[in-house]
Amino acid sequence: MAKATRRQFLQQTASAAAALHAFPMRALAGNGKHFEAAPEIADRLDAAAVRKLASQVRGQVISPAARDYESSRLVFNRAFDRHPALIVRCAETGDIPRALEFAQRQNLPLAVRGGGHSRAGFSVCEGGVVIDLSGMARVEVDADKRVARAESGALVRDLDRASQRFGLATTLGGCPTVGIAGLTLGGGEGQLMGKYGAACDNLISAQIVAVDGRQVEASQYSNPDLFWAIRGGGGNFGVVTALEYRLHPVGDVLAGTLMYSAGRVPELLEAYVKFVAAAPDEVSIVGGLLPSEQGTRFRMGFFYCGPPGQGNELLKPLRALKPEVDDVRVKPYQEAQEAGFLSSPVAHFQTDLFLPELTAEAIATMATATDHGPPNTRVFIVPFFGAVTRVGLSATSFALRAPGYELDIVGLWNATAEKAAAVEWVKSLRDKLRPISRGVYVNQLGDTSEELVRSAYGANYARLAEIKRKFDPENVLRLNQNIKPA
């Protein structure tokens, strides 16, 4: 960075001093930049406390009048249009206890944001404080030890790219802009989970700032209870600042899409279920029921991380069903990862169910619903088998350990007028499938309730509630799939 001239330095110092004395009209961000405080926010906030916070953090304190406030408050799910009082974009771990203390002293709602992809809009709050970790996104890879250490604002693509430079990877989700922290803390399903388990199964340790400002490590050796809880229990226990992952050799893979003509859903889903039942750990095959003018079409996102010849053999029965599109080919793992299903911000409501089986009844219910749904509705099907299902139910708090199918039921809208129909369709299909479901995946839930959260953790909920009491007894971190302190 170019050095500031003496004149620039004096100007900066003078305006900094003016800012420190003039809040609420003007305040100093931690990086030396200024923001104008909107009068209504200034009225609500304790000006001296904001000044103190801004002078203490190395990151940015972004108020509603700041130039980048609008872009900073937006989250992936555009259904949420919330206006926080302050966004603290942290630059280092030391900023986090300050932001936590500020929010608690001012009694303001608190949201924690990594990649901003929460389906339920949990990473932004109305009138409160957002701890934004996007400025802390460094990733370091120790190729010899096959370990990656990433700051918690890193995205899936940051960690994938850094690891792939050494021909390594760990299980991460299929959307490159999802945050690694949100993904991993809730479990983390991805194309490698049959072979290497969920993202949380590859976590070696995490650095955490507890709500009282303490910095703690969670690993098998330090705070093992906390380590158990954060592998599935989401952002309930503290603000994670860094995560350390186990990596595996992953080179080119055989991957792509098979898309079939409309009107064949029951037949294709039966073939899909048969395929999944015999699939080796190296396979991932995400199904998609997608509307079209001709009726519902079935798409399979195929992935195989073993020898390509064997993958092509496996594909024979699916190719025999004559897909209209078949772009499955050998490609770098990174390319397969970045061909995500839905990667532009969009307003949506999504919910989630875990079915132990895709029975004929479930298939018929989904086929009928998708044939008669509004145009922007979809169902994605993520089969669970292999390594992710061989971890014991109580080994981590993530409780989706039985083989089965995780269903993401989604309704999207571009105009508000389309919202009601999309949301109603999602809820109605969920209600029909709920009696045959067993559990939900917290990371894919666009709504919440105590019943849903308990259903996500089953027998693990009671232990999670005990650990929550130990690390967050006042439930400061409650804008999440919330575990209530016992």
Positions in the binding site for ligand FAD (CB under 6 A): 76, 112-119, 122-123, 133, 152, 173-175, 178-179, 181-183, 185-186, 188-190, 234-235, 239-240, 342, 443-444, 480
* Distance of closest approach, residue 203 Cβ to ligand FAD, in angstroms: 13
> Are the C-beta atoms of 30 and 57 separated by less than 8 Å?
yes
Nearest residue (CB) to ligand FAD, 53 versus 185:
185
Three-class secondary structure of residue 286 per DSSP? strand
Q: Which one, 118 or 370, has the nearer CB to ligand FAD?
A: 118
How are beta strands 110-113 and 215-219 bridged, if at all?
unpaired
What the block records as the tokens of 466 is 């005990």
Apex CA 99: angle with CA 98 and CA 103, to 5°? Answer: 120
User: Which of residues 460 and 482 has its CB atom nearest to ligand FAD in the complex?
Assistant: 482
Give whichever of 438 and 478 is closer to ligand FAD, judged by the CB atom: 478
When the beta carbons of 367 and 460 are compared against ligand FAD, the nearer one is: 460
Q: Which residue type does 313 have?
A: E
Amino acid at 309: G
| Smaller CB separation from ligand FAD, 26 or 117 | 117
Minimum separation from the CB atom of position 447 to ligand FAD (A): 13
How big is the CA angle at 252 (ends 324 and 275), to the nearest 5 degrees? 45
Distance separating alpha carbons of residues 127 and 130, to the nearest angstrom: 10
Q: What are phi and psi of 216, to 5 degrees?
A: -130, 155
Compare residues 118 and 367 and give the one whose CB is closer to ligand FAD: 118
Which residues, at least 6 apart from 311, have a Cβ–Cβ distance to it below 8 Å? 254, 282, 283, 304
Direct distance between the N- and C-terminal alpha carbons of the chain, in angstroms, rounded to an integer:
50
β-partners of residue 326 are: 258
Q: Which is nearer to ligand FAD, 24 or 186 (CB)?
A: 186
Residue found by looking up tokens 């029921």 in the block: 289
143, 81 contact by CB (below 8 A): no
For ligand FAD, give the closer residue by CB, 123 or 460. 123
Give least dist CB 324 to ligand FAD, A. 25
Choice between 30 and 190, CB closer to ligand FAD: 190
The answer for residues whose C-beta is within 8 angstroms of residue 200's C-beta and 6 or more apart is 184, 185, 187, 188, 230, 231, 232, 396, 398
**Total Cβ atoms within 10 A of residue 322:** 11
Residue number, 50 or 120, with CB nearest to ligand FAD: 120
Q: Which is nearer to ligand FAD, 182 or 373 (CB)?
A: 182
Helix (H/G/I), strand (E/B), else coil: 151: strand
Q: Give min distance, CB of 382 to ligand FAD, in A.
A: 8
Closest separation between CB of residue 317 and ligand FAD, Å?
Answer: 25
Cβ at position 443, least distance to ligand FAD in Å: 4
Look up tokens 């044939």; give the residue: 371
- CA separation, residue 117 to residues 146, 244, 382 (Å): 28, 21, 18
Give the separation between CA 183 and CA 486, rounded to whole angstroms: 25
Q: Are 33 and 63 in contact (CB under 8 A)?
A: no
Q: How far is the CB of 37 from ligand FAD (least distance, A)?
A: 25
State the Cα–Cα distance between residues 189 and 440, nearest whole angstrom. Answer: 13
Strand, coil or helix: 129 = strand
Task: Output the six-digit token pair for 123.
Answer: 């990473």
Amino acid at 435: P
Query: Three-state SS for 388?
Result: helix
Shortest Cβ 289–ligand FAD spacing (Å): 17
* Residue least distant from ligand FAD (Cβ): 182
Least Å distance between CB 39 and ligand FAD? Answer: 29
Peptide bond into 24 cis (omega under 30): yes
